[in-house]
């Protein structure tokens, strides 16, 4: 029997391209409706204190109130409570018993990841409305992934018919995204808030491996005065 999205009413069959988001009491959000909160729900699992968890919860519920009906918002609220009770509560309790040095290291890493997510990137060498105030040096993020037999077979098959190999393209995109994450983390470690001149190098190895290297220059940028005034 097909399930129904609690927000839009869309029927979800057994075979779907992307699975729905399971909430509580058998309620679901279809993939289209869940896209707006899936990533934020995932951040809840990384909360190291109740204050952080509650802050994330408040932000998620506010976002839901803008895009979902009341029933869907209530269901998401229950889902968040379930996440806390089943997983995060024990995780927070365990974290609080860690030595202070480990907690400080975890807090620093979490702060760096947060800064990395906010990095601005461009393949060019400036940002509209901003000025570069400091150059922090060239950085790179390297990732090596195995393409696997299926991807290799698909690539060979597509060569015969002139079609793109979906499996190979997916692997390549995964490696590219991972290299960007490493690049932004390195920029954050240097104290930068943006990266200019971003480009990618692709390397293939005989052992059925593929490497992606993201390169760029970490910089510190500030908004131009006229743009600040227009925002105010």
Measured at the CA of 181, the angle between CA 176 and CA 185, to 5 degrees, comes to 145
**pLDDT tens digits for range 127-150:** 999 999 999 999 999 998 775 544
pLDDT at 150: 43
Please count the structural domains in the chain: 2
pLDDT at 165: 57
pLDDT at 149: 42
pLDDT at 175: 86
Q: How confident is the model at residue 206 (pLDDT cuts 50, 70, 90)?
A: low
Higher-scoring residue by pLDDT: 230, 192: 192
Crossing angle between the packed helical segments 100-117 and 166-190, to the nearest 10 degrees: 120
Which CATH number is 221's domain given? 3.30.110.70
Question: What range defines the domain where residue 165 resides?
Answer: 119-231
132 and 227 fall within a common domain: yes
227 and 130 fall within a common domain: yes
- Which secondary structure element, helix H or strand E, spans residue 229, and what is its range? helix 225-231
Number of neighbours of residue 62 by Cβ within 10 angstroms: 10
The distance of Cα 160 from the centroid of its chain, to the nearest Å, equals 36
Q: Average of pLDDT values for 19-25?
A: 86
Backbone φ and ψ of 168, nearest 5°: -65, -40
123 and 226 fall within a common domain: yes
Number of neighbours of residue 14 by Cβ within 10 angstroms: 7
Q: Average of pLDDT values for 111-138?
A: 92
125 and 225 fall within a common domain: yes
């Amino acid at each position: 029997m097909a399930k129904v999205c609690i927000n839009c009413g869309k029927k979800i069959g057994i075979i779907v391209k992307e699975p729905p988001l399971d909430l509580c009491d058998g309620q679901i959000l279809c993939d289209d409706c869940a896209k707006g909160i899936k990533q934020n729900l995932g951040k809840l699992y990384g909360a190291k204190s109740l204050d952080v968890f509650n802050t994330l919860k408040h932000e998620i519920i506010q976002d839901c109130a803008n895009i979902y009906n009341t029933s869907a918002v209530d269901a998401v609220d229950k889902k968040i409570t379930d996440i806390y009770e089943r997983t995060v509560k024990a995780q927070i309790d365990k974290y609080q018993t860690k030595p202070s040095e480990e907690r400080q290291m975890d807090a620093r890493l979490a702060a760096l990841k947060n800064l990395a997510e906010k990095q601005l990137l461009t393949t060019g060498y400036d940002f509209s409305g901003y000025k570069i105030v400091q150059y922090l040096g060239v950085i790179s993020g390297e990732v090596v992934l195995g393409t696997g037999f299926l991807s290799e077979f698909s690539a060979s098959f597509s060569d015969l018919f002139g079609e793109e190999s979906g499996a190979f393209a997916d692997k390549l995109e995964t490696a590219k995204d991972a290299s960007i994450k490493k690049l932004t983390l390195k920029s954050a470690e240097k104290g930068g808030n943006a990266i200019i001149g971003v480009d990618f190098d692709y390397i293939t190895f005989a052992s059925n491996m593929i490497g992606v290297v993201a390169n760029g220059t970490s910089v510190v940028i500030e908004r131009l005065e006229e743009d600040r005034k227009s925002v105010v």
